[in-house]
Amino acid sequence: MDAAIRYESVIKRFGEQVVLDGVDLAIERGRITFILGKSGTGKSVLIKHAIGLLRPDEGRVLIDDEDITRLPDRDLRRVRIKFGLLFQDAALFDSMSVFENVAFPLVEHRRLRPDRIAEVVRAKLGQVGLEGVENKYPAELSGGMRKRVGLARALALDPEILLYDEPTTGLDPLMVEQINALIADTQARQRGTSVVISHDIPSAFVLADRVAVLAGGRVAACGTPEEVRASEHPFVREFLAAGLSERLRPGQ
Ligand SMILES: Nc1ncnc2c1ncn2[C@@H]1O[C@H](COP(=O)(O)OP(=O)(O)O)[C@@H](O)[C@H]1O
Ligand SMILES: [Mg+2]
């Protein structure tokens, strides 16, 4: 498989706690992969290894077939620039306007003239369906709008790989649909690789090309949504059953 990200027998401990206990996973290039798992199972820890924010105690992490496991920090910059990150809370800079937030990576990493920066910022905001909010501040925006600004910022450098960490957690159902549509639309336009960390099982089965379920520090199931749905792994069956019924609860 042509893998954008490859985890090989990755073990990560924090003190006594073994969070990743031999993760083997290949994230296929050009596709949307959902990584599912209960809260606290190590999903965020896993993606932090892809950008070198955390390093494995054992095993290897490869990005575009390059082993980054022991890459010095100064070389990680070159690797990180391949990634666009959208964190759960959007992680916007509150003291900066929407424009400045989206322009930030361009100012940091590209030598562009101000008018060119403005052009890119407008294009990225347009791509996520935001217009006329450039001069607003994050505190003036709704949760869904902040998320869009975060996505526009993540897209600023045209990343090859987009990492979404719980993009829809805490949003109302209508907003979940909108963000999901945006993830699908972004994937179709960028034709890159998208990795979505989530515990939203229904969304995963609609959007994903591939699904990996993390449990007990390992990949309990991995494959197409159909393959994962057919998994015999007891944890996976229980996890999917619980997650699929959640949406059917009254008031959801
Ligand atoms: N930097 C850290 N230091 C110590 N423990 C951590 C650190 N990061 C995460 N953990 C622990 O690792 C476990 C998995 O965390 P995380 O990856 O954030 O879970 P989730 O699947 O909800 O994203 C949790 O028990 C968390 O407390
Ligand atoms: Mg997390």
Residue matched to tokens 């390093």: 55
Does residue 219 lie in a domain region?
A: yes
Does residue 10 lie in a domain region?
A: yes
Provide CB contacts within 8 A for 46, sequence distance 6+.
7, 10, 20, 23, 25, 35, 197, 214
Does residue 158 lie in a domain region?
A: no
Model confidence at 170: pLDDT above 90: no
Taking the CA of 38 as reference, the closest ligand is 1
Would you place residue 245 in the very low, low, confident or very high pLDDT band (cuts 50, 70, 90)? low
Does residue 17 lie in a domain region?
A: yes
Does residue 9 lie in a domain region?
A: yes
Does residue 157 lie in a domain region?
A: no
Residue 141 confidence (pLDDT): 92
Model confidence at 35: pLDDT above 90: yes
Strand, helix or coil for residue 51? coil
Cβ 19 under 6 angstroms from ligand 1: yes
Would you place residue 243 in the very low, low, confident or very high pLDDT band (cuts 50, 70, 90)? confident
Model confidence at 2: pLDDT above 90: yes
Does residue 129 lie in a domain region?
A: no
Please tell me the total count of domains within the chain.
1
Cβ 41 under 6 angstroms from ligand 1: yes
Residue 17 to residues 27, 130, 193, Cα–Cα distance (Å): 26, 43, 31
Residue 250 confidence (pLDDT): 45
Does residue 28 lie in a domain region?
A: yes
185-236 tens-digit pLDDT = 999 988 899 999 998 898 999 999 999 999 999 999 999 999 999 999 999 9
Ligand 1, atom 18, lies closest to the CA of 44
Q: Please answer whether residues 20 and 10 qualify as being in contact, where contact means their C-beta atoms are separated by less than 8 angstroms.
A: yes
Say which CATH number the domain at 33 has: 3.40.50.300
